Amino acid sequence: MSEPHEMIIDAFLDGEPVDAERLTEALGDAPACQYLADVLVLRGLVGSDPGADAVVAPARTTAASRRTWIAAAAVVVAAGSGFGLGWRAAGNRAALIAPPGSPAVAISVSAPEPTAVIRLESGVDWDERRW
């Protein structure tokens, strides 16, 4: 199959001026004839009305959308990990304020010392009758 024959076939199919002798020669080439038939089929496929009864469907995942999903997954994992750590820390604090009678828990954290003491007296700083 020769490319010049296909180019002659192209021009013929597209309504462009073609040398009759060269067209005859091209049509005598079996692969070029097969090319002609295939281009006509291709024309039928592409030329069919693309808007008729068509619906839009999402295409396959692109690299950009994959990156978006990976970033979203990373955010979810980070948020989940933070929640887990917070949950564990909250569990430790609950152990520190366990009610009397509960099993003894080793307290490794002591309460901070007060930096200022404010003294309030009844009748001076507030009036109980008003309450």
Partner 1 sequence: MVDAERLFAAHREGLFRYLCRIVGRAEAAQDLTQEVFVRVVRTAVPTEDPAGSRAWLFRIARNLALNHLRDARRRPEPAVLLDRAQPAVQELGVALTEALNALSEADRDVFLLRETAGLSYAEIGVACELSVDAVRARLHRARVELRTTLGDAIGRHRRRPVSLHHGERT
54 is an interface residue for partner 1 by CB under 8 A: yes
Residue 22 CA to residue 39 CA, distance in Å, equals 19
Instruction: State which of residues 20, 21, 30, 50 lies at the interface with partner 1 (CB under 8 A).
Output: 50
- Among the residue ranges 7-15, 90-98, 99-107, 122-130, the one whose residues contact partner 1 (CB under 8 A): 7-15
Give the residue with the Cβ less far from partner 1, 7 or 25.
7
DSSP one-letter code for 6: H
103 is an interface residue for partner 1 by CB under 8 A: no
Cβ 78 to partner 1, closest distance in Å?
A: 22
- Among the residue ranges 60-68, 74-82, 83-91, 122-130, the one whose residues contact partner 1 (CB under 8 A): 60-68
Residue 61 CA to residue 65 CA, distance in Å, equals 6
What is the Cα 24 distance to its own chain's centre? 56
Residue 92 CA to residue 53 CA, distance in Å, equals 63
Give the residue with the Cβ less far from partner 1, 64 or 117.
64
Cβ 33 to partner 1, closest distance in Å?
A: 13
Question: Kindly report the CA angle at 17 between 16 and 19, in degrees rounded to 5?
Answer: 135
Residue 113, token pair as written in the block? 């010392």
